[in-house]
Every structure is written in C-alpha cells, then in structure tokens.
Amino acid sequence: MKRIVWAALLVLASGQAAADWVNIGSDANAELFVDRSTIARSGDMVTMWSVSDLKMPHSANGATYLSLKRQDEFDCAASRVRGLQISAHPQALGEGQAVASEKGSGAWMPVTPESIGEKLWKVACGKE
C-alpha cells in the first residue's frame, strides 16, 4: 500500500513540475516561452508565467544564469502589464535552483506595440 501511495505522489509531483512551455517568438536577446496552463483569469485581469531563454549568459550574485522565469499580471481592457515576480535560473526554460529572485514593483506599464510585452499580452488576453 505504501508503494502505491509513493508511486502516485511521484507521478503527481513530476506532472506538476513539468511545464508545457510553448515558444511564442524571440528578439535579439532571448527566445520567449509561455505556459498556457498557468493562465488565470478574473474578469479583465489575467496572470501568466513566461520564460525568456537568453541568447548570452548573464550573471547575478556571482552566479551565471541562462533564463528568466516571470509571472506577470495583464489588464486586458486597459492594455497594461505589471511584473509580479521574476527569477534567474542557470538552465534553459527556468530549470535549476534560482540564483536570484525578486517581487515586482507593482507599477503598471502600458503594453508597447510590437514588443515582447505585447506578445505576452496577446497570449494572456486571448488576442492572438
């Protein structure tokens, strides 16, 4: 019985840990991925996780990182976005122990046309 419980817990844990990242574009600095299963909607407000796989390594706190994983909140009606949290990871797709992290400032920013932010806003708000 204990083996069945442990096996079930392992299956659940591995399913929750694996994100379904989908590439939605790139710019000169990074490839951008979103996990549509993380989209949470409340009226015109939406939260969603994304990952930027950097084309060049960066460093923070003396450690190298290759990706930035972030959660943003989108106001679909007012075309604006704010960062809720961000973390820097040593491996692609936000994998590995975060080498740095911080909470967002809470400040709303307008969505800039033809930007990475606009790509994220379109996915989150179902505008693509």
| CA 106 from centroid of its chain's CA atoms | 17
CB-neighbour burial class of residue 93 (10 A; exposed 0-12, middle 13-18, buried 19+): middle
Least confident window among 45-49, 85-89, 116-120: 116-120
**The two structure tokens encoding residue 125:** 């708000």
Q: How far apart are CA 128 and CA 44, in angstroms?
A: 16
* Residue 37: pLDDT band with limits 50, 70, 90: very high
Digit-coded pLDDT (tens) for 38-62: 999 999 999 999 999 999 999 998 9
* Cα atoms in the Cβ-side hemisphere of radius 13 Å centred on 29: 7
Percent of the chain whose predicted confidence (pLDDT) is above 70: 86
* Domain ranges within the chain, ordered by starting residue: 20-124
Residue range 59-79: mean pLDDT, rounded: 96
State the distance between the two ends of the chain, measured CA to CA, in whole angstroms: 48
Mean pLDDT (whole number) for 71-100? 97
User: Over pLDDT 90: what percentage of the chain?
Assistant: 76
Flag whether the pTM goes above 0.95.
no
CATH 3.30.70.890 holds for 20-124: no
Rounded to the nearest integer, the mean pLDDT of the chain is: 87
